[in-house]
Amino acid sequence: MLALLSPGQGSQKPGFLSPWLALPGADTRLRWWSALAGVDLLHLGTEAGADEIKDTARTQPLLVAAALLAAEHLPPAGVDLVAGHSVGELGAASIAGVLPAEAAIALAGVRGREMAAACALEPTGMSAVLGGDPDEVLAALERYALHPANRNGAGQIVAAGALDALAKLAAEPPAKARVITLQVAGAFHTPYMAPAETALGAIAGGATAHDPARILLSNLDGTAVTNGGEMVQRLVRQVTAPVRWDLCMRTLKDLGVTGVIELPPAGTLAGLVKRELKGDGAPEIVTLNTPDDLPAARDLIARHGGQQTQGAAR
């Protein structure tokens, strides 16, 4: 069984889209999507520096565009399962057939702008907590009124909330844990993003959704969603809900996924899968970062794809 994964914010690198512009139609496609997203995706993906593409309003549509652009060059019939991390879920939903590419790009533009605006309301942030006992880490977060925004497996929980509370967590970390401050604009996937959730919901309600054509996992609980309308509701809810990537990886294991391709900018999710799904039965992984990686990705699909089972959904 072949899984296609779409990464989220923080995976972007300056110039990572440049190699893709050599493919026929890529330039035109990005110009069209730029109009829908309200940002210059060509500039952001090729010329912009690290600080510019760190901006939430710019990064989110850029990442969705990158995933969709690369996915167009893979044989869809061989992809059994798709999943995305955070904003990557919009790309995953489109690849699964729930939303047209244009709708996913437009929603990513709205999501990015509204989350950036919500970040400006209060001084908040995020920190990665690496190691430690998970229950003790969660108890420490609760003690400081912080939220477990991402549970990424492999001993990694991302705390989010007020900056002063994050500072207290860093000063007194849980036993055997390290706290690393993340360079993000605010507390994503927490109640601090409620204004963004409301704004995205008002727009997303007008999108036409179809039921997924392949297994589509949800960050909310790691389950497969079979109804397109429900998936759109989950995409909106996910703005304030924790990303349970640990549960998504558990589902990959439970379904017996044997091949994994991470869409560009690839590396982050592949690393998490490699650390979590190791040993006997560990999936073969391809990180798709440039068109030069397409032959390896297509070969992986040919050898592992086309195994979707209809009973895999919730």
Q: Which residues are catalytic?
A: 86, 189
| β-sheet bridge partners, residue 2 | 259
Cβ atoms 248, 219 nearer than 8 A: yes
- Measured between alpha carbons, how far is 302 from 194 in angstroms, rounded to an integer? 43
DSSP calls for the chain: -EEEEE--TT---TTTTGGGGGSTTHHHHHHHHHHHHTS-HHHHHHT--HHHHTSHHHHHHHHHHHHHHHHTTS-GGG--EEEESTTHHHHHHHHTTSS-HHHHHHHHHHHHHHHHHHHTTS-EEEEEEEES-HHHHHHHHHHTT-EEEEEEETTEEEEEEEHHHHHHHHHSPPTTEEEEEE--SS-TTSGGGHHHHHHHHHHHTTS-----SSEEB-TTTS-B---HHHHHHHHHHTTTS-B-HHHHHHHHHHTT--EEEEPSS-SHHHHHHHHHS-STTPPEEEE--SGGGHHHHHHHHHHH-S---GGG--
**Cβ burial, residue 164 (10 Å; 0-12/13-18/19+):** exposed
